[in-house]
Amino acid sequence: MKASIIIVNWNGIDLLRITLPTVIAAIKYTGVEHEIIVVDDGSRDESVDLVRNEFPIVKLVSLDQNHGFGEACNIGVKHSRNPIVVLLNNDMIVEEKFLEPLLSVFTEPDIFAVTCQIKKWDKQTVEIGMITAQFKFGFAKVKRNNQIASQEEIPAPTFYASGGASAFSKEKYLTLDGFDELYYPFYWEDMDLSYRAWKRGWRVIYQPQSVVYHKHQGTIGKSYKKNYIKEVYYKNRLLFHWRNITNRWYLTQHLLCLLPHLVGTVLIGKLYYVKGFFRAIKNIGIILERRKREKKFIKRNDTQIFNIN
């Protein structure tokens, strides 16, 4: 089975110099002609020249302006030629043997995505392993298992596949229209995509034997102010719930908890929460339209999804 590895880059020339050679080495290790695509999302540095001149094996898709992570991934998927697409952050080093364990899970027709064990760049600390979730106090609460996986640990269902280190069925990805541009410029688009896949009756799997190493916020942290990052995060957190949660009791909890939460954050001076709320509310019309469109495809309800593990 062949895969297309897609790396979205924005002003990450220094990261690409480190990470891209590890991806090329992993491809060579397999002995299979997999594809590597770098989608440059309107970089202002010399990333395009670096890829074009130093990595001719890589297919370059250069965008004139910044589209945000989700839409740039979607563009990369549309340019890919293989049935499996692997999305990697530009600050992700991969192990030489990372690819085959991912692809080996795509044996059943209902597999939507397979996600890696993500460690930090120190190669000792697990950043994301198995992910579970529960709906509590009006919001989805995600719990990440940060235990290092043993060599015997087998693939298992996980709440969502990280957009920075996961393989996807290209056909199913396109059926869902990929990452939703409402989550521009970053965060929560991967959880949204996986949640919609679970609702369709498909599965998302954690593969502990596929290991990558992540320098968290390698690009985002350099390019945006901290309060803006928090504002976007909260906006997208709200959009996720408004778009996807259909269980009446869950929605009631959410609405009852939302106002006290906003008031409380104002009182302690965290105004980025309120700013995020008003950013989110501007999209309520689109959200309601997409909720209605997705409803007819639901095969698994919210309660079932929050109990998949």
Instruction: Produce one character per residue of 150-161: b if its CB has 16 or more CB atoms within 10 Å, e if not.
Output: eeebebeebbbb
Structure confidence by residue, pLDDT tens digits, 282-306: 999 999 999 999 999 999 999 999 9
pTM of the model as a whole: 0.94
Residue 149 has pLDDT above 90, yes or no: no
Beta-bridge partner residues of 92: 214
- pLDDT (mean) for 98-124: 95
Strand (E) or helix (H) holding 265: helix 248-267
Average pLDDT, the chain: 95
Residue 219: predicted pLDDT: 63
Residue 170: predicted pLDDT: 99
| Same domain flag for 97 and 163 | yes
- pLDDT (mean) for 1-27: 97
| Same domain flag for 99 and 13 | yes
| Same domain flag for 217 and 245 | no
Structure confidence by residue, pLDDT tens digits, 180-205: 999 999 899 999 999 999 999 999 99
| Same domain flag for 204 and 127 | yes
| Same domain flag for 163 and 269 | no
pLDDT tier, 151 (very low <50, low <70, confident <90, very high otherwise) = low
| Bigger pLDDT: 55 vs 126 | 55
Residue 188: predicted pLDDT: 96
| Same domain flag for 156 and 267 | no
| Same domain flag for 195 and 296 | no
Q: What is the CATH number of the domain that holds 32?
A: 3.90.550.10
Interior angle at CA 242, CA 238 and CA 246, nearest 5? 140
Distance of alpha carbon 179 from alpha carbon 185, whole angstroms = 11
**Cis before residue 185, ω within 30 degrees of 0?**
yes
| Same domain flag for 35 and 162 | yes
**The total number of structural domains that make up the chain:** 2
Distance of alpha carbon 25 from alpha carbon 87, whole angstroms = 17
pLDDT tier, 218 (very low <50, low <70, confident <90, very high otherwise) = low
| Same domain flag for 38 and 51 | yes
Domain boundary among 164, 191, 222: 222
Q: Report which of 284, 198, 177 is spatially closest to residue 235, judged by C-alpha positions.
A: 284
| Same domain flag for 141 and 236 | no
- pLDDT (mean) for 71-86: 98
- pLDDT (mean) for 95-106: 98
Sign of the Cα torsion 197, 195, 241, 276 reads negative
Helix (H, G, I), strand (E, B), or coil: what is residue 85? strand
Task: Classify the phi-psi angles of 45: left when phi > 0, otherwise alpha if psi is within -120 to 50, otherwise beta.
Answer: beta
Full domain range(s) for residue 301: 224-305
| Same domain flag for 237 and 216 | no
Domain boundary among 197, 222, 247: 222
Domain boundary among 222, 240, 262: 222
Distance of alpha carbon 302 from alpha carbon 294, whole angstroms = 13
Residue 223: predicted pLDDT: 77
Residue 125: predicted pLDDT: 87
Residue 217: predicted pLDDT: 56
HSE of 261 in the Cβ direction (CA atoms, 13 Å)?
16
| Same domain flag for 94 and 175 | yes
Residue 221: predicted pLDDT: 72
